Amino acid sequence: MDFKGKDIISIKDFSKKEINYILDYANEMLPYANGEKFKDILKGKVLASLFFEPSTRTRLSFESSMSRLGGRVIGFSDPSGTSLKKGESLADTIRMADSYSDAIVMRHPHEGAARLAAEFASVPILNAGDGAGRHPTQCLLDLFTIRSEKKRIKNKKIVLLGDLKYGRTVHSLSYALARYGAELTFVSPASLKMPKEVIDECRALGVEPTQTSSLEKAIKDADVLYVTRIQKERFPDAEEYNRVVGAYKIDNELLAGAKEDLIVMHPLPRVTEIHPEVDKTPHALYFKQAFNGLPVRMALLSLVLGGKL
Ligand code: CP
């Protein structure tokens, strides 16, 4: 399977066979991700890391991935220090990064920005999140985590909770999980329901998601609880946000009603939706999930840059 030079814009651009190949390869990357082994397969390669929006995990894990494989990183985490400040267009910024690097990872507040960037770049574009749109590398690391912990995804009962309207990770993930034949339950405040087009996509793949506002009922027989933050930055007005903030809270009392082997995932950052007391329980998978960003992104960089293990 040849991924060299390929853009990573949306999970929908990949077949299930290709996704499985990436996840298997990410598994091979594990000893390189945790520092047990080292191989400089990306020596001499340069990644441009362009973050127009804040990030901790995605940016640092991409940059660490490049370093762990012997490559170098240029870029910015705050666009106010670039010539965008002088009015330069996104297209011209991408043209410049294209001429200085071998691949570009980009996070941008506008949906569709990564697809647009790919039109102006000859090197691969890796979408690190575009507005409320796609976040394909998060989706891959979520699939990797579920598959690693639960051995398979098919028929697993997966509850997606929180801001299902603005949360970009849950859109890509619902689609991908439906392709794998998972059983999906969506739990959210009424104003933050999963968009109809995502539900329609699941239906087209033969999965009928259950929609409810009762978390207690939903988690009783769940295998995975995927929690999301209420995306304050994407609300058009503060009042709407204030009405829903704190709608759900995961704590040990709630988890007492769940299966012993339920795993709690969260793309992070969390704010108040998971009580820190949960961190010490065997349910808490969110920090391991964030670590899994490393082998998955190492695998992707290795594949698109053509430096295989
Ligand atoms: N999960 C995720 O995208 O985290 P960051 O916003 O910190 O990159």
Give me the helix-helix angle, 57-68 and 16-33, nearest 10°: 70
- For the chain, what is the mean pLDDT? 95
Q: What percent of the chain has pLDDT over 70?
A: 99
Q: What is the CATH number of the domain that holds 57?
A: 3.40.50.1370
Co-location of 216 and 108 in the same domain: no
Q: Tens digit of pLDDT for each residue in 149-199?
A: 999 999 999 999 998 988 878 999 999 999 999 999 999 988 889 999 999
**What is the structure's pLDDT at 34?**
96
Co-location of 174 and 263 in the same domain: yes
**What is the structure's pLDDT at 6?**
98
Residue 309 lies in a domain: no
Please report, as a single letter, which amino acid is at residue 306: G
**CA–CA distance, 96 with 93 (Å, rounded to integer):** 5
**What is the structure's pLDDT at 243?**
73
Residue 180 lies in a domain: yes
Co-location of 284 and 298 in the same domain: no
Co-location of 285 and 299 in the same domain: no
Co-location of 177 and 279 in the same domain: yes
Average pLDDT over residues 31-56: 97
Active site residue 108: no
Residue 196 lies in a domain: yes
Task: Please tell me if the CB atom of residue 289 comes closer than 6 angstroms to any atom of ligand 1.
Answer: no
Residue 3 lies in a domain: no
Co-location of 141 and 191 in the same domain: yes
Co-location of 236 and 276 in the same domain: yes
Residue 2 lies in a domain: no
Lookup: tokens for 301 = 């960089």
Whether pLDDT at 38 is above 90: yes
More confident residue, 165 or 58: 58
Q: What percent of the chain has pLDDT over 90?
A: 86
**What is the structure's pLDDT at 66?**
98
Task: Please tell me if the CB atom of residue 57 comes closer than 6 angstroms to any atom of ligand 1.
Answer: yes
Co-location of 75 and 179 in the same domain: no
- Active-site pick, 45, 59, 107, 134: 107
**What is the structure's pLDDT at 236?**
73
**pTM of the full structure:** 0.95
Residue 4 lies in a domain: no
Co-location of 123 and 140 in the same domain: no
According to the 3-state scheme, what is the secondary structure of the chain? CCCCCCCECCHHHCCHHHHHHHHHHHHHHHHHHCCCCCCCCCCCCEEEEEECCCCCHHHHHHHHHHHHCCCEEEEECCHHHCHHHHCCCHHHHHHHHHHHCCEEEEEECCCCHHHHHHHHCCCCEEEEEECCCCCHHHHHHHHHHHHHHHCCCCCCEEEEECCCCCCHHHHHHHHHHHHCCCEEEEECCHHHCCCHHHHHHHHHCCCCCEEECCHHHHHCCCCEEEECCCCHHHCCCHHHHHHHCCCCCECHHHHCCCCCCCEEECCCCCCCCECHHHHHCCCECHHHHHHCHHHHHHHHHHHHHCCCC
Q: Tens digit of pLDDT for each residue in 229-250?
A: 887 776 777 777 677 777 789 9
Co-location of 92 and 145 in the same domain: no
Residue 75 lies in a domain: yes
Whether pLDDT at 258 is above 80: yes
Total structural domains within the chain: 2
Whether pLDDT at 143 is above 90: yes
Whether pLDDT at 273 is above 90: yes
Task: Please tell me if the CB atom of residue 56 comes closer than 6 angstroms to any atom of ligand 1.
Answer: yes
Task: Please tell me if the CB atom of residue 125 comes closer than 6 angstroms to any atom of ligand 1.
Answer: no
Co-location of 44 and 155 in the same domain: no
Co-location of 19 and 109 in the same domain: yes
CA 275–ligand 1 middle distance (angstroms): 19
Q: Which atom of ligand 1 is nearest to the CA of 268?
A: 1
Nearest Cα residue to atom 4 of ligand 1: 57
Average pLDDT over residues 194-211: 96
| Range(s) of the domain holding residue 167 | 136-290
Predicted confidence band of residue 74 (pLDDT cuts 50, 70, 90): very high
**CA–CA distance, 187 with 164 (Å, rounded to integer):** 8
**What is the structure's pLDDT at 246?**
75
Q: Tens digit of pLDDT for each residue in 84-117?
A: 999 999 999 999 999 999 999 999 999 999 999 9
Residue 143 lies in a domain: yes
**What is the structure's pLDDT at 166?**
83
Active site residue 107: yes
